[in-house]
Amino acid sequence: MEMRAFNNVAYLQAGIAMQYMRRHKLTPSQFVEMDRKYKLLHFLEIGYEPFHLTGDEGVLDELDELVAEQHGEAGGDIAQ
């Protein structure tokens, strides 16, 4: 991945991660744990092309759907 594309993806990931933590009242540690379990940042990376054209609320909703789908398959607690 070229440096400019990498920077754009990283910028999207950082911004969405911050908003996701605010939306769900998560600490950075809780978000990291969710990322380990659900691969949230990887999802943002592979979906960068459509996501950077989507509003932030839409991207946050996509992350919520991803967690809900995986949570249903794996069971366990979703961080509050």
Q: What is the DSSP string of 25-72?
A: T--HHHHHHHHHHH-HHHHHHHTHHHHTTS-HHHHHHHHHHHHHHHHH
* Rounded Cα distance, 48 and 78, in Å: 24
Phi, psi of 52 (to 5 degrees): -70, -10
Whether 79 is covered by a domain: the verdict is: no
What is the pTM assigned to this prediction?
0.82
Residue whose pair of structure tokens reads 């991803």 in the numeric block: 66
Reading the block at residue 43, the tokens are 């999802």
Number of domains in the chain: 1
pLDDT for 27: 98
Domain assignment present for 78: no
Give the pLDDT score at 51: 93
Say what the pLDDT of residue 73 is: 63
Domain assignment present for residue 62? The answer is yes
Identify the domain containing residue 50 by its residue range.
3-72
Render each residue's pLDDT in the chain as its tens digit; 80 residues.
Answer: 678 788 999 999 999 999 999 999 999 999 999 999 999 999 999 999 999 899 999 999 999 999 999 988 654 445 44
Q: What is the pLDDT of residue 22?
A: 98
